Amino acid sequence: MPASKPDFDVLIIGGGPAGAAAALTLRKRPDIKVLVVERGDYQQDKVGEALSPGTRELLRYLGVWEAFSGQQQLNIWGNQAAWGSDELHCLDFIFTLHGSGWGLNRRAFEQLLADAVQQQGGELWTQSRVEQLARTEAGWQVQVTDAQGQLRHLTCRYVIDAAGRASPWSLQAGAVRVRYDNLMGLANWLPRADGQQTEAFTLVEACEYGWWYGSPLPDGRLAVSLMSDQGLIQQQRLAKGDAWFALLAGTRHLRRLVSLDGPQPTPRASPAYSARVTPPPDKAPIVAAGDAVASHDPLSASGIPRALATGIQAARAAADALFGDGKLKKAYHDAVAQDFGQYLGNHWRIYQAEQRWPRADFWRFRTAQPQLAPTTLVGRGRAQESLFVPDKVARRLLELAASPQPAHQLLAGLSAEQPDLPVERLLLAMEELLAPA
Predicted confidence (pLDDT) per residue in 269-315, tens digit: 999 999 999 988 778 999 999 999 999 999 887 889 999 999 999 99
pLDDT (tens digit per residue) in 335-369? 999 999 999 999 999 999 999 999 999 999 999 98
Of 71, 55, 145, 76, the closest CA to residue 111 belongs to 71
- Inter-residue contact 77 to 200 (CB < 8 Å): yes
- Asked if residue 204 has pLDDT above 80, the reply is yes
Phi, psi of 409 (to 5 degrees): -70, -45
pTM, full prediction = 0.91
Among 324, 326, 434, CA closest to 385? 434
98: pLDDT strictly greater than 60 = no
Average pLDDT over residues 211-221: 88
**Which of 157, 122, 121 lies closest to 8, judged by CA?**
157
Answer yes or no: are the C-beta atoms of 278 and 340 closer than 8 Å. no
Q: What is the DSSP letter of 145?
A: E
Pairing type for strands 294-295 and 275-278 reads: antiparallel
CA distance 270 to 208: 20
Give the mean model confidence (pLDDT) for residues 43-60. Answer: 81
Mean pLDDT value across residues 408-413: 93
Report which of 8, 16, 35 is spatially closest to residue 322, judged by C-alpha positions: 8
**Contact 238/170 with Cβ under 8 angstroms?**
no
Whether pLDDT at 434 is above 70: yes
What pLDDT is stored for residue 96 in this prediction? 43
Per-residue burial over 222-256, b = 16 or more CB atoms within 10 Å of its CB, e = otherwise: bbbbbbbbbebbeeeebbeeebbbebbeebebbbe
* Angle of CA points 17, 8, 164, to nearest 5°: 30
Q: Please state, in angstroms and rounded to a whole number, the distance separating the CA atoms of residues 410 and 378.
A: 9
Dist CA 279 CA 334 (whole Å): 10
Note the residue count of the chain: 437
d(CA 64, CA 62) in angstroms, rounded, equals 6
Helices and strands (H and E) in the chain: how many: 13, 23
Long-range contacts of 364-368 (CB under 8 A, 24+ apart): 365/181, 365/229, 366/181, 368/428
pLDDT band at 424 (very low <50, low <70, confident <90, very high): very high
* C-alpha gyration radius of the chain: 23
**What is the pLDDT at residue 106?**
86
Q: Any idea what DSSP says for residue 192?
A: B
User: In 324-390, which residue ranges form alpha helices assigned H by DSSP?
Assistant: 328-352, 361-367
- pLDDT for the residue 208: 96
Mean pLDDT over each residue of the chain, to the nearest integer: 91
- Residue 49 is predicted with a pLDDT of 67
Flag the least confident range among 210-214, 312-316, 372-376.
Answer: 372-376
State the average pLDDT over residues 24-40. 97
Residue 1 has pLDDT above 50, yes or no: no
Confidence of residue 97 (pLDDT cuts 50, 70, 90): very low
Per-residue model confidence (pLDDT) at position 5: 87
pLDDT band, very low/low/confident/very high, at 79 (cuts 50, 70, 90): confident
Residue 45 pLDDT: 77
Q: 25 versus 104: which is more confidently predicted? A: 25
- pLDDT surpasses 90 at 173: yes
Q: What is the percentage of the chain residues whose pLDDT exceeds 70?
A: 94
- Are 212 and 223 a contacting pair, CB within 8 Å? no
pLDDT at 199: 58
Q: CA 314 to CA 331: how far, in whole Å? A: 10
Element spanning 25, H or E: helix 17-26
Cβ atoms within 10 Å, residue 2: 4
Instruction: With beta carbons less than 8 A apart as the criterion, state whether 430 and 410 touch.
Output: yes
Residue 3's pLDDT is what?
Answer: 59
The answer to whether residue 139 scores a pLDDT higher than 50 is yes
